[in-house]
Each structure stands twice: as structure tokens, then as C-alpha cells.
Amino acid sequence: MEQILQTTYLWLKAGHVIFVIFWMAGLFMLPRYYVYHQEAPAGSEEETRWIDRENKLRKIILTPSLIMVWVFGIALATAMGFWSSGWLHAKLLFVLGLSAYHGWLVSYGKKLAKGQRPLTGKKLRLLNEVPGLAVAVIVVLAVVKPF
């Protein structure tokens, strides 16, 4: 039984890590796409191409990866009995924050597609740092398990 649990754990962990990488890649790319989109002339063919690219990134990579991160993460925590661990609670807080950031990015993309440009390119560039900082904390919590 222990061998089955260890094998399952390794597959769940591998799936979780793979989809975290895909999700993070998308979270790094999308705000950059938004910067380029905002720099394109309104109503231009270039703007139309950016809207298409953003939609594809969200629908093909970002949202499916987000879902799989949660599925594998919940399965992993359940299989290993991590639900009472303090480090997991802290990690989940940051993952919820990244999920909210993901949702905000989706809503911002919809505004851009409608021709609204509420943020400057500089602010979008700064927001591009959010996932990097969050993932650094998440990795420390998951690997070091400080509490």
C-alpha cells in the first residue's frame, strides 16, 4: 500500500509541477502582451492580432493550466494528508492570490478588447512582477515547509 501511495504521490507531484510551469509562463507573458497591445494604435490590425493572441493564451494555456494546478494540488494535499500543515495554508493563500491575479488579468484583457486602456504600460510592467514574487514565496513554503 505504501508503494502505491508513493507512486501516486510522485505522479501527482509531477503533474502539479508541470501545470504550475505552464501557468506561470502564461502569467509572465500575458501582462507583456497587454503592454504591446496598449502600444498598438486603437482599431488597427496590429491591435486585432494582439486581442487574438491574448485570447489564445488565456484559453489554450492559462485557464486550463490554472484548473489543472488546483486539481493536482488538491489531490496531492489529500493523498499526503497535508491539510493540517501551516505551510500549506500559507501556500494556499498565495495561490489564491495568484488565482485572483489571473482573474484580474482576464477582466483587464476584456477591457482592452473593448478599447479601454485604464492602466499605463509602466503600471502593467510593474504588475508583471507579481507572479515572480508570489511563486518565490510559494516555492519556499512548499520545499522548506518552515511551519
Binding residue positions for heme: 16, 91
Q: How far, in Å, CA of 50 to CA of 34, rounded? A: 8
- Show Cβ contacts of residue 10 under 8 Å, excluding neighbours closer than 6 positions: none
Q: State the Cα–Cα distance between residues 4 and 142, nearest whole angstrom.
A: 22
Distance, first Cα to last Cα, the chain: 28
Question: Can you list the alpha helix ranges (DSSP code H) found in the chain?
Answer: 2-39, 45-56, 63-80, 86-113, 121-127, 130-144
Annotated binding site: 16, 91
